[in-house]
Structure 1
Amino acid sequence: MSSSSKSCTEAFGDTVEGNISGFFGRVGLWVGHNPRKTIGLSILVTVSCGIGFLRWETENRPEELWLPQNTQAEVETAAFTEYFGGDARINTLLVQSSSAGENVLTKELLISAMQMSEVITTEKATADTTNYSGDTFEGEEYSFVDLCVQAGGSCVDFAAGGVCTCLMAGILKQWNYDLATLEADDDILESINQYGTKEDLETVLGNPVFDENGRVISADAFVLSYFLQDRSFVEDGTTKDPVNEGWEKDVFLSTAEAVPQEYPLLSVDYFSSRSFEDEFGGAISGDLIYVNISYILAFLFVAANLGKIRCGTGSRWTLALAAVVTVGLSTAAGLGLSSAFGLFYGPVHSILPFILLGVGVDDAFVIANAFDRERKVPRSQEVNESLAKRTGRALARAGSSITVTSLTDFVAFAISASSVLPALASFCAYAAISIFFLWIFAATFFSSTMVLDERRQRDNRRECLCCLTRSRDIQEDEVFEEGIISKYFRNYHAPAILSPVGKIVVTIFFSALLGFGLFGAINLSVEDTEREFIPADSYLKDFVTAFDEYFPAEGIEFYVVFEDGSNIYENRQELAELNTRLTGLSGAPTYIAEPVTEKAYRNVMTGLSLFLSENGSGAIGNVTLGDDMWPTSEEDFYLTLSSYASMTGPGAVYAQDVVFDNSTALEVFRVKCEYVRLTKLNRNDEIIDDADRQIDAMDATRALVESWTDLQPAFPYSAKFTTIEGFKVIQTELYRNVGLAVVAVGVIVFVTVASPVTALLITLNVAFCLLEILGFMWALGFAIDSVTVINLVLAVGLSVDYSAHVGHSFMVKGGDSKDRRVLEALADMGAAVLAGGTSTFLAVVVLLFSDSYVFFVLSRQFCLTVVLGLAHGLIFLPVLLSLFGPKPFSSAEALDAEANVGKLAHKETVPMDQTGHDAEGGSNSDSDKKRLSELEEVGEEPQKVVG
């Protein structure tokens, strides 16, 4: 093709391809001459990056990993914590009869439960310093009374003292958590019915049965909850609470586990604040064996496909090990440099080696394939100089291909590093940096080991004992011959899909697959998958299942926090009647439950107003009351309120809801409210959170509170709001990050493949593949959550590799027939792409048996990515290229020398005219001459190339 006849895009493509090939040709030539020096430099770079480990930081706090930062919920949480302290640690027992289905409201069973409760509240434990580096708590003992949240209202007799000063919940409060009081009670049902309203009893009794008068007569279960004051602190990115954790382990959990032996009448399911971390961490640790097995499988597969399986001539077991080491060096260098940049390392980062293994092995196969195809003579005839030139030609051939995939992977992860989810942002930054090193080390370290391994084979030395020479003479092929897989692609696969019938079948099949993906993507929803992290065989799973049975999903509680205490007295009546503003809101956003029970609505101002109206102020300060039955002065109001809501006052249940400043003036108070049950049934008829309604409820509640301009400033708070904020952004994060990554992939592929048509086809192929992954996620019952979003970002990087290699190979195949060029591209690159995808599949297939939710989802999404990515890259894209593919690069003939030997020999005999054209109209353009010069530098014989 003459330079004057080239379009701008064709000229651009030739320039880009020529520059990349020329650069890698020179790199390969230097590596081929200096393999040991290259290996040393690679290790030196890794060690230098390792200095960054001095700034190594870990992060394990869920709120700092999976929740968006700098949100309104974060501001509300900070303000709420400043006023009322952190959330309490909850330890709960779900008590049932050991004889399934029997009534638990019997005196005998309640006595047994009281005995168990007394052990929990009186036994002492030492701090759990197993994972704590300090010694502050070493040797000290603590009981529940020492550690509990101090609050009133836990007992009927608020002046009983002792354990009654602690915050607890359950029907045992009717006997002040005292065994002697219970034993002396002749009518326990009468005492239980004094607990509160029917709605109040339903909050602590499982499946209660009431008579016609609304009095409880039996129940299948009841709950007992014990609240500890939060004493946590952060150490190395982990929230630790050794004091409370020690008590939970040695007293609460130990007592619960001993129930079948110590209390034969009882059966309990139980939950502790440390349970989730214990059980989830145990599942991850237990599945590490699968990680080791998967790496071994991947190594064996790589070794079997890089060379012969049997050790001997042509085997490459040490080279396979070098491929794995290349991934290891890239991981170490990436982690070190990322740490130097101040990025934290979180739990999800443990899957990074799987990503790098998939990308790195893929590059290794591509380079090794090019290296083998460039061998034109028997190994025994290659001196070191010839081998170095072959390395240069191989990297010139493979460099563009690995650059396309590495750069697209790098950009895809770099874009997602801007995510508002810290775990995703940090992970993607780590991945992008590690892939950069993988690109460098694949071209240098792995190529160097390949040169040394080729020298070993030429010298007939053994694999591991490379100093020893084999006794048998070397058996070798004269030149490179295609393997079985390449012959399959040439003789069977390509002819089948490129036939007229094959193209129709492929088009129809992938169109249907795309339609399925679109349907699934539309129906995929955001869900709270926290329960999925619990291992199936965990006691925590048993507790959740039992709790769902006896206490179907309850509404989320929230607080309205009123600030600016100086105006509270002025607005006292409006605040006492706040329930009127919250009535009738349950049917639509805000979805606030009707304020008719103590559980759904608790307002100290309402309680004080009723008490003063019924009893006066004699018992709580004896101040003068006005006609409205409120204290006549602000000072008297504060005195009355503080007496009423004290730990020993008649309003002890409100003690935690008020905060006074140093002058005993009210600074802030909170009103407890509750949403209706915002749940739905999933496809398996399981009750799950309805994320959309919860988002609507949160937003509407904020708007409602903001509209109360006649009251002092207030804000709503719920511990669930931070999670709901995550629901609110996770779907946006998914489509934003994946969408931007696909667009970036399209731009990078265009720049590196340098063909707008091929770049478009590759990009569409990747986009279709991702939509189909979403469809299969829906079919498998997965939801949009932090884990699946991360895996989808990974899918962008992995799926583009399979298509980009084939698309680039198509562009460097010469000839006028698109079908023929597709066939040659599949025969050349198909085996390497298939081997790379298979090795990635083997790296995760063992994790299909994992009990950990993270590995469970990872393995399935990875398998989907590999299978669909290979199908698109090796079936659908070739058909698209055969139909719509552009012309090849003008240098394509030079990279496919076997097909052009005759043509070049002919051109060399044709005289040139004064314009630089030969007598047949050919041209030696400047770019073609440059290409010839670069190939001659790395040892390509002139008679084998055409400009």
Structure 2
Amino acid sequence: MTKQPEQMDKMDTTCHAEAKKGLRELREVGPVTWVRVYASNSSKEAGEQLAGRAHDPLAFESYEAFDEHISQGAMQQDGSTSYGSRPQKFSSPLVGKKIAAVEVPLLTLPFSAAGCTSRVEEVAAHGLGKVAKSCARNPWKCISLTVVGCLLCAVGVLRFSAASEARDLWVDQDSKAMKDMEWTEQYFANAGRLNRVLVTAKDGGSILRMETMAEIFRLADDVKALTDENGNAFANVCLQVPSGCLNPGIRRYFGTGTSADFNQTVQTQADILLAVNKANFPDGAPAFADDSMGGLVRDNSGSITSATAARVDFILSGDSEVLQAWEKALIEHFTKDDLTEQSYQHVSAFVQAERSSDDELSRTVQADIPLFAMAFVLMGSFCAVFLGKVTSWTQSRRLLGLVEFYLVIFGCIAGYGTCMLMGIPFTVLQQILPFILVGIGIDDAFVISGAFDALDPSEGIPERIEKAMQRVGVSITLTKVTSIASFLLGATGVFPSVKWFCAYASCSCFYIWLLHCTTFCAILALDARRASADPPRLDPCFCIGARASCMPGKGSEKASPLERMLVAMIRFLTSHPAISLATILVFLLVAALSAWQVSLGLSTDFDIMDLSPDQSYLRDFYNQEIQHFGGLSTGGLALPTAFYAMDQDFQSLAVQRHLEEAGAAMMALSNVNNIRGHTIFTLWAVQNKGVLASLPHSAFTAVETNRTGCEAGLPSGVSTCSSFLVTGSTFLPALQEFFATPTGRAFEDDVVIQNGQVKVVRLRASHVDTTNSREQVAVLEEAEAFTEQWQSALPGSFMNAQAYIFFDQYRIIVEQMTVSIGLCLGAVLLISALVLAHPLSVLVVLLVLSLVFMDLMGNIVLWGLALNSISMINLVMAVGLVVDYSMHMAHSFGLQDGTLPRPKRAELAMKEMGQPIFLGVSTTFLAILPLAFSSSQAFRVFFQMFFGIVIAGGSHGLIFLPVCMSMFGPSVKKVTSVKEISNISNTDEEAAAGKGASDEATPK
């Protein structure tokens, strides 16, 4: 609802009264929140200014301010109301001016959403402007406070804690699989720290030959002779068994695993084949060739004839720091400069230690330090060159650009320090974050500088900075609040790596926003003083004066070539509805193609090796592991699993029968290798009492030998089900006697005895080989269904493996991504609705975000990537960047003159925001460009994802959104049409002469 001011048909002494009267009438309809007065030095200029709708009128922040201004101007001794009669007491930009028009905003109902939003935005813009002006007036104080504040925040580094374990970073810490695994670790400790050497024949032949096997044992002797920096040898740190150090792997087939054993028992290759084909090791434990040898070849009878690889394991036990020192010596024995080194004649050896993953993850960052330095140089140089006028030394702001780059780094330091102070762990991924945040932060610098440059340079510097922040401060705040909200919502996910990354991002983003609203304005004021000095200076300390050759040319254009190019592009794309519609359809078609690609299938695999350098001894090991054994340690062949039962009456016949049946059912699962399971209760008693003959007859309960499940999992050498089970009070003594036998010794670790009672029983098995995340999710879901199936017979029991926590990640990653992105879009909807106000503007911004996310999902498929924690981090970070690219443009469109056609408003928005957005996009691209040459696949994933973000986000913000707004943007006028009013006399002489200026007033 609007009401125009009355036509001002009276001259000089009455025009202000009439203006005030018209505005008071408007006040009765709705609030007048601002007033602009268009004025010039002459009537002709006033008319031209009115026709051209100049963008630098005298603006009053409220009706009351305008009323007071006019009242002061009207206080004259002769009672007249003309300006200029007492300039010594009343200073105004209107003194000596001719008023062309008074402009007021569109008036709405007092409680309308648009009205409330406009008032909130006005208050925010006013506050941001005042803060910026204060900083501009006291730049050195502001800078000093910034340095001190950031350093105080950096004290948080004293609470630095790092997390690098895969289970601590990439999986849901509250999942049932994790809770079950943590429970099992209370009762079944890991059997030492596994260090493995994988050995292959150098000529590519079988490893089961005399010369290769003999060299394997020499290799083992060399390892056992190693001493660490503290003088500890293998014998001091190994896992001890009654016969000495445990020697798992292929050596176990030949006794204790020493060269002496091998030389005594092996004379020919036939002896080697005889040993590896035995069903049991010499110590009586069951032997499974797949655990020790890869690339097995068997004859028609099933006997092993050759193998392409063998495992030589060294298991350590003791204090972690002591063991890591010996592991370091082990790694150095088989590597040089962290690369695999082959020093044996007949075999190639590839090493993996327990500490290898953490070591290589740290080395990834160290290897890419030169790339990080290159990225900093590129970003700093770009900012220094393009923040001001490229062709002018005095107006170039090269030093300001460099300082701006380090200002963002200071924001990151403050953010990181705050997070560390709160105890949030630091991970390797946080080291990439500054490169992303530099792009977000520098974008704000471009926007503020652009708004500052658009103002009249004759005004005071603090006042120009105040007006610049009033113009763009709300837009900057809006984008940062949206980004912070998105990061915080991303931190509500279940994956620690994503949560901690988003926490660091949100804190750093807050400080970057704060520094740009304050410190950057102070630095910009210093730079403006330098440039406006006479003569201009080249340094902020005003020491180096500029020569004539450094001065900008008088004929230099205000608009840069980039700005003209962007404006020309939008002018063409909005010149005809058909062109605009075709442009929109192109973007929709790309999104549709991306959706089609995603519908064909999206991998959710996560390869832990992506975090290690490409050139790495650990990657060499895993490549050989895959080639010869068919799977990694977190999945694939011989992945151990187990069924756990606890707090049962294990001495009762019913419970023993349930366990026997559960073991048989577990062996029958489609994803379980049925030759590798052990159901121990079938062995506690054998027909005619067997090894338990010392027990009285009353200790046994007769059972059917053909009962369900009794044959499942019988070890080698046992083919007949027992006809008796041990029950009652003799159960525990019988169990302990069984564990003392060679056959029973293999199951000793599967039973936990507390206070003279069996507390927990574990039934072990192994999964079949799996090759991708879909198969591994199927493994997990089958295990969960099996657990549920046995809850009534064995309450509280469950099936669990260490790898299940990673399989659970693959299962929930799509759900987590959907929830996180949905929450981010919800935050954008809510926050943009508070500022953009008009539903069409909000919907266009949401459409842009939705299309960009769909394009990014297609980008994942295009690059052959997988949807996992790393790509999910990139998708959440995309919100902050895309909001920057789109929200600035949408907000600027809404600030343009509502009386202009939509295409013209889109063009003006591009003129105001196009260049800052383009430069922000370019900065982000330069920030992540060096990551394309990273030595780690994980960092290259960041480049591949952010390449899509800057292309899709930048094109949608600079092309799709303006074109879309030119067709469907809000049509509600923000201002009334401007009304010309009478001009005002300029001097006391004109007023005394009876309003001599009346001949210059030509109201239309």
Q: Given the two structures, how large is their TM-score scaled by the length of structure 2? A: 0.78
> How far apart are 1:889 and its partner, in Å?
6.2
> How far apart are 1:788 and its partner, in Å?
0.9
SS of the residue corresponding to residue 222 of structure 1 reads: strand
Residues 839-866 of structure 1, C-alpha deviation per residue, up to 9 Å, x if partnerless? 1110111111112233111111112111
Residue correspondence of structure 1 range 850-929 to structure 2 within 5 A: 850-887=934-971, 890=974, 906-907=980-981, 909=983
SS of the residue corresponding to residue 678 of structure 2 reads: coil
> How far apart are 1:827 and its partner, in Å?
1.3
Q: Does 1:113 align with 2:194?
A: no
Q: Which runs of 5+ in 2 are unaligned?
A: 4-25, 30-106, 632-636, 703-722, 986-1004
- The residue aligned with 1:716 is 799
SS of the residue corresponding to residue 105 of structure 1 reads: coil
Q: Per the alignment, do residues 115 and 336 of structure 1 end up closer, same or farther by CA in structure 2, a change over 3 Å counting?
A: closer
Which of the two has higher C-alpha Rg?
Answer: 2
Q: In structure 2, give the amino acid aligned to 1:758.
A: S
Report if the CA contact (8 A) 2:573-2:963 is conserved: no
Alpha-carbon distance in 2 for matches of 1:671, 1:775: 45
Q: Does 1:547 align with 2:638?
A: no
Q: Does 1:415 align with 2:489?
A: yes
Q: In structure 1, give the amino acid aligned to 2:664.
A: T
Q: Per the alignment, do residues 641 and 107 of structure 1 end up closer, same or farther by CA in structure 2, a change over 3 Å counting?
A: farther
The counterpart of 1:509, out of the listed 556, 574, 586, is 586
Q: In structure 1, give the amino acid aligned to 2:744.
A: G
Q: Does 1:697 align with 2:782?
A: yes
Residue correspondence of structure 1 range 284-299 to structure 2 within 5 A: 284-299=365-380
Q: Per the alignment, do residues 854 and 217 of structure 1 end up closer, same or farther by CA in structure 2, a change over 3 Å counting?
A: closer
> How far apart are 1:23 and its partner, in Å?
2.2
Alpha-carbon distance in 2 for matches of 1:181, 1:150: 18
Report if the CA contact (8 A) 1:17-1:753 is conserved: no
Q: Per the alignment, do residues 352 and 733 of structure 1 end up closer, same or farther by CA in structure 2, a change over 3 Å counting?
A: same
The counterpart of 2:545, out of the listed 452, 461, 469, is 469
Alpha-carbon distance in 2 for matches of 1:853, 1:97: 30
- The residue aligned with 2:530 is 456
Alpha-carbon distance in 2 for matches of 1:277, 1:248: 12
- The residue aligned with 2:437 is 356
Q: In structure 1, give the amino acid aligned to 2:256.
A: N
Q: In structure 2, give the amino acid aligned to 1:697.
A: E
Q: Does 1:524 align with 2:628?
A: no
Q: In structure 1, give the amino acid aligned to 2:514.
A: I
Q: Per the alignment, do residues 47 and 276 of structure 1 end up closer, same or farther by CA in structure 2, a change over 3 Å counting?
A: closer
- The residue aligned with 1:246 is 325
Residues 334-378 of structure 1, C-alpha deviation per residue, up to 9 Å, x if partnerless? 22333343433332222221232111100000000000011344x
Q: Does 1:824 align with 2:908?
A: yes
Report if the CA contact (8 A) 1:577-1:606 is conserved: no
- The residue aligned with 1:763 is 846
Greater CA drift, 10-19 or 760-769 = 10-19
The counterpart of 1:792, out of the listed 875, 884, 890, is 875
- The residue aligned with 2:172 is 68
Q: In structure 2, give the amino acid aligned to 1:201.
A: A
Q: Given the two structures, how large is their TM-score scaled by the length of structure 1? A: 0.83
Alpha-carbon distance in 1 for matches of 2:414, 2:938: 25
Greater CA drift, 668-677 or 53-62 = 53-62
Q: In structure 1, give the amino acid aligned to 2:387.
A: L
Alpha-carbon distance in 2 for matches of 1:270, 1:804: 52
Alpha-carbon distance in 2 for matches of 1:541, 1:768: 37
Alpha-carbon distance in 2 for matches of 1:340, 1:259: 40
Report if the CA contact (8 A) 1:373-1:480 is conserved: no
Report if the CA contact (8 A) 1:520-1:776 is conserved: no
The counterpart of 1:181, out of the listed 261, 264, 279, is 261
Alpha-carbon distance in 1 for matches of 2:878, 2:726: 69
Report if the CA contact (8 A) 1:593-1:674 is conserved: yes
Residues 358-414 of structure 1, C-alpha deviation per residue, up to 9 Å, x if partnerless? 11100000000000011344xxxx6xxx12211111111121221121111111112
Greater CA drift, 91-100 or 840-849 = 91-100
> How far apart are 1:705 and its partner, in Å?
3.6
Alpha-carbon distance in 2 for matches of 1:296, 1:444: 25
Q: Per the alignment, do residues 293 and 54 of structure 1 end up closer, same or farther by CA in structure 2, a change over 3 Å counting?
A: same
Alpha-carbon distance in 2 for matches of 1:367, 1:126: 59
- The residue aligned with 2:791 is 706
Q: Per the alignment, do residues 315 and 692 of structure 1 end up closer, same or farther by CA in structure 2, a change over 3 Å counting?
A: same
Alpha-carbon distance in 1 for matches of 2:435, 2:335: 40
Residue correspondence of structure 1 range 363-762 to structure 2 within 5 A: 363-377=444-458, 386-459=460-533, 460-463=536-539, 466-472=542-548, 475-476=551-552, 481-522=558-599, 523-553=601-631, 554-564=637-647, 566-570=649-653, 571-576=655-660, 578-586=662-670, 591-594=671-674, 597=675, 600-610=676-686, 615-617=690-692, 626=700, 628=702, 634-646=728-740, 649-661=742-754, 663=756, 665-680=757-772, 690-707=775-792, 709=793, 711=794, 713-762=796-845
Q: In structure 1, give the amino acid aligned to 2:232.
A: E
Residues 894-925 of structure 1, C-alpha deviation per residue, up to 9 Å, x if partnerless? xxxxxxxxx67x345499xxxxxxxxxxxxxx
Residue correspondence of structure 1 range 153-192 to structure 2 within 5 A: 161-163=243-245, 166=246, 168-170=248-250, 172-184=252-264, 185-186=266-267, 187-192=271-276
Report if the CA contact (8 A) 1:643-1:649 is conserved: no
Residues 56-103 of structure 1, C-alpha deviation per residue, up to 9 Å, x if partnerless? 443333322222122222321222111111364222222221212x22
Q: Per the alignment, do residues 90 and 623 of structure 1 end up closer, same or farther by CA in structure 2, a change over 3 Å counting?
A: farther
Q: In structure 1, give the amino acid aligned to 2:931.
A: L
SS of the residue corresponding to residue 609 of structure 1 reads: coil
> How far apart are 1:874 and its partner, in Å?
0.8
Q: How much identity, in percent, do the aligned residues show?
A: 25
Alpha-carbon distance in 1 for matches of 2:141, 2:972: 37
Q: Per the alignment, do residues 167 and 576 of structure 1 end up closer, same or farther by CA in structure 2, a change over 3 Å counting?
A: farther
Report if the CA contact (8 A) 2:383-2:405 is conserved: no
Residues 585-621 of structure 1, C-alpha deviation per residue, up to 9 Å, x if partnerless? 31xxxx3332xx2xx20233233335x6584336x88
> How far apart are 1:421 and its partner, in Å?
1.8
Q: In structure 2, give the amino acid aligned to 1:862.
A: F
Residue correspondence of structure 1 range 306-385 to structure 2 within 5 A: 306-309=387-390, 312-377=393-458
Alpha-carbon distance in 1 for matches of 2:558, 2:165: 55
Greater CA drift, 72-81 or 774-783 = 72-81
Q: Per the alignment, do residues 856 and 622 of structure 1 end up closer, same or farther by CA in structure 2, a change over 3 Å counting?
A: farther
> How far apart are 1:518 and its partner, in Å?
1.7
The counterpart of 2:183, out of the listed 79, 95, 107, is 79
Report if the CA contact (8 A) 1:13-1:755 is conserved: no
Q: Per the alignment, do residues 622 and 225 of structure 1 end up closer, same or farther by CA in structure 2, a change over 3 Å counting?
A: farther
Alpha-carbon distance in 2 for matches of 1:607, 1:114: 35
Report if the CA contact (8 A) 1:96-1:221 is conserved: yes
Alpha-carbon distance in 2 for matches of 1:98, 1:211: 24
Alpha-carbon distance in 1 for matches of 2:438, 2:963: 29
> How far apart are 1:308 and its partner, in Å?
3.7
Q: In structure 2, give the amino acid aligned to 1:221.
A: A
Report if the CA contact (8 A) 1:150-1:167 is conserved: no
Q: Per the alignment, do residues 593 and 188 of structure 1 end up closer, same or farther by CA in structure 2, a change over 3 Å counting?
A: closer
Report if the CA contact (8 A) 2:844-2:964 is conserved: yes
The counterpart of 2:298, out of the listed 188, 191, 210, is 210
Greater CA drift, 809-818 or 363-372 = 809-818
Residues 196-236 of structure 1, C-alpha deviation per residue, up to 9 Å, x if partnerless? 599933443322222232222222222223333374xxxxx
Report if the CA contact (8 A) 1:364-1:442 is conserved: yes
Alpha-carbon distance in 1 for matches of 2:975, 2:969: 17
Alpha-carbon distance in 1 for matches of 2:332, 2:156: 41
Q: Which runs of 5+ in 1 are unaligned?
A: 128-138, 152-158, 232-240, 681-687, 894-902, 912-947
Q: Per the alignment, do residues 13 and 256 of structure 1 end up closer, same or farther by CA in structure 2, a change over 3 Å counting?
A: closer
How many pairs does the alignment contain? 840
